[in-house]
Chains A and B, each alone.
Chain A
Amino acid sequence: MRSVREATQGIRRAPLLSGLSITAIGLSLFIIGLFALTAHNIDEALVGVESRVEVVAYLEEGTSEEVVSVAISEIGGFPEVEEIHFVSKVEALYDASRELTEFSDVFSDLEVNPLPASFEIRLREGSRTPEDVERVAERLRGYDFVEEVRYGREWVDKVYALRRIAGGAALALGGSFALGAILLIGIAVRMAVLARSREISIMQIVGATDSYIRRPFLIEGLLTGLAGGLLALGLTWLVHASVDRTLLSLSWLPDLWVALGLILAALLGVVAAGRAVRREIRRIEAL
């Protein structure tokens, strides 16, 4: 109780510096928050994209119905496969002429159907990463009757690369700001220690333990960090709400991410305060 009371007194004693620390930590986490929001929405988009990811295996000319029938049950049993659909040569031509209406004359004049039969394979949720898709494709290529396997690999790869970039940028930029925040919190806590140096020296003289002396300052760091985290959360939410309303529909961050962000903010505050207070307490003792 004493520690919390003194920690809040410490914040009130240097409001400008505490405000700066809260702003710095808030900005650093806001940047992380923005990138997290981007990454999360890319994730959401990827789920949509992935659900449409289809592997198409084109079959050799003349593949028998028995082979097709056995293959359907075998490939349908792959752990990654959700659904397998056989498209015969006739269906392929029909689909093509329906989708490519500008070539309908060409299709109707054909004497021989040049389009191959194929399997259209949809993968299960959780098995739609580029690695999963590639693994399934590789297995399909192993069949003699499969002439060629196609899927939107490049496109999936690009979306994944974008997500990695968003994550990396969040860490790099947010990390730099977080360092700045640590320095500012350190200064704020050092000032709070100096303002109470007489009290601290008396505590040391009468036999208070280091942990007892440090506790209020660590709590001050924790509260500063937490306030910065809440500021970042508020700013990120504002951006989310305004983009969602005006530009495009965005999902809000998962609760777990929000909780982790607040814990990270509090930890930043505690670490920064801990470094500063340890050094200052030893300096007071040496006086």
Chain B
Amino acid sequence: MIQFRSVTKHFDRSDPALSDVSFHVRKGEFVFLTGPSGAGKTTILRLIHMQMMPTEGEVRVSKFSSRKMKRREVPELRRRVGYVFQDFRLLEGLTAAENVAFVLECTGTPKAKSEPRVQRLLGQVGLISRARSLPRELSGGEQQRVVIARALATEPIVLLADEPTGNLDERATAGVFDLFRTINASGTSVIMATHDAELIRRHPSIRVIELEAGAVVFDSRGSESAPHAAPRSVRPESAPGRAVE
């Protein structure tokens, strides 16, 4: 469903942000994207979301290809790819429900259909009782749930999450992560960029793609034949890892 084929991304003449990256994410898959800051995690998410185009190679998302993408097609792609940020990016003057309804309004959903859908989405993320609260009246975990509800509003086939638990405490992190698992169980693919080695370690069944200096240095799908293999970021000092070709 999502394919990176020899993708290289340069921002300027310095070293590439991504270098010859290839991987494939299947429909309904959950993927951790990990690696140190500046490794290229966010660049990958932004390329999937077509906020930028690769310098070389091709990114394919469902029927959309970065090689053939026209500007007018970008909104259609983005309705199928939800995006969750670490810093929430909610509209401060709108309530939780209005923040979700805003997306529906922007994408042309009639008001009569929008209201029940907002209620359903807030129910899905466990925030019915906070529907009328402004973002500043919500905890970090609750704000992130509103963001997730907002990202789900267009019924995306894939949810991209850029360090979604980076600003949350342990309890909120667990709650938000469980929510992602539930969403994934209903068939939506999830690609989560995270630094959280502990989170990755606690969920060994989830695929991990590890990046370093813009290159994929580990992909747990490629290491299924070596179950003891683990990404560098979560591996004990002595354990062997394996980079994917």
A residues with CB within 8 A of B: 2, 198-199, 201-210, 212, 285
Contact = CB atoms under 8 A, between A and B. Distances in A.
Contacts of A208: 75, 106-107
B78 A206 contact: yes
B105 A207 contact: no
Contacts of A203: 106
Given A206-B150, A206-B154, A207-B77, A212 B51 contact: no
Given A2-B105, A285-B51, A209 B91 contact: no
15 contacts: A202-B89, A202-B102, A202-B103, A205-B83, A206-B103, A206-B106, A206-B151, A207-B74, A207-B75, A207-B79, A207-B107, A208-B75, A209-B75, A212-B106, A212-B108
A105 B175 CA distance: 121
A285 B72 CA distance: 14
Contacts of A205: 49, 78, 83, 89
Contacts of A202: 89, 91, 102-103
A281 B7 CA distance: 27
B153 interface: yes
Contacts of B74: 207
A13 to B, nearest CB: 12
Nearest to B106: A208
B178 interface: no
A204 B79 CA distance: 10
B76 interface: yes
B11 to A, nearest CB: 11
**Most chain-A Cβ atoms within 10 A of its Cβ — which of B72, B74, B83, B106?**
B106
Interface string B11-54: 00000000000000000000000000000000000000101000
Contacts of A209: 72, 75
Contacts of B103: 202, 206
Interface in B101-158: 102-103, 105-108, 150-151, 153-154
A274 to B, nearest CB: 16
Contacts of B154: 206-207
A128 B44 CA distance: 76
Contacts of A204: 78
Nearest to A208: B106
A198 B91 contact: yes
A201 B106 contact: no
B79 A198 contact: no
Given A202-B89, A207-B75, A207-B154, 14 more contacts: A2-B105, A202-B91, A203-B106, A205-B78, A206-B103, A206-B107, A206-B151, A207-B77, A208-B106, A209-B75, A210-B72, A210-B75, A212-B106, A212-B108
**Most chain-B Cβ atoms within 10 A of its Cβ — which of A201, A203, A210, A285?**
A203
A209 B108 CA distance: 10
B98 to A, nearest CB: 12
A285 to B, nearest CB: 7
Interface string B62-94: 000000000110111111000100000101000
B79 A206 contact: yes
A202 B106 CA distance: 10
A205 B78 CA distance: 6
B105 A198 contact: no
B106 A207 contact: yes
Interface string B153-169: 11000000000000000
Contacts of A207: 74-79, 106-107, 154
A121 B174 CA distance: 102
**Most chain-B Cβ atoms within 10 A of its Cβ — which of A202, A209, A210?**
A202
B53 to A, nearest CB: 12
Contacts of A201: 89
Contacts of B83: 205-206
A2 B105 CA distance: 9
A1 to B, nearest CB: 10
A199 B153 contact: no
**Most chain-B Cβ atoms within 10 A of its Cβ — which of A206, A210, A285?**
A206
Contacts of A285: 51
Contacts of B91: 198-199, 202
Contacts of A198: 89, 91
A207 B154 CA distance: 9
A201 B51 CA distance: 11
Nearest to B94: A199
Contacts of A2: 105
Nearest to A213: B106
Contacts of B71: 210
B64 to A, nearest CB: 12
A207 B105 CA distance: 11
Contacts of A206: 78-79, 83, 103, 106-107, 150-151, 153-154
A4 B74 CA distance: 26
